[in-house]
Amino acid sequence: MLRATGRVRSSGHCVVRVLPVPSGPLGPSASAVHAAFARFGLGGEVFGAELPFVAFDAPADADFGAIQRVLADGESQGWWHFEVGCGTDRWWRSERS
């Protein structure tokens, strides 16, 4: 069994997980979540159709402030819930700026 014991170097990438609210405007649609973030060119994957939990990879050069605004706006409008799985210092400094 292999185990990670440290980081070689930081990539600067951040991971954000988004779960659409089934009764919200987007319904349980992972593709609608992807569409909301398409302009940022984020890579991502979906847990599955029964649990449309979307994990996005935001590269180091992404517009973190704009992504955070979309996340916050969608949550306040009842579209989704989200969490930051891995945020860099730059992510936290650009919080909704």
Q: How far apart are CA 85 and CA 59, in angstroms?
A: 14
- Per the listing, tokens 């060119």 go with 41
Residue type, 62: A
40 Cβ contact list (under 8 Å, min separation 6): 58, 62, 63, 66, 67
Q: How far apart are the first and last CA of the chain?
A: 42
pLDDT in tens, the chain (97 residues): 878 776 666 777 789 999 999 999 999 999 999 999 999 999 889 988 889 999 999 999 999 999 999 999 999 999 999 999 988 889 899 875 5
Q: Which of 88, 45, 46, 48 is nearest to 68 (CA)?
A: 88
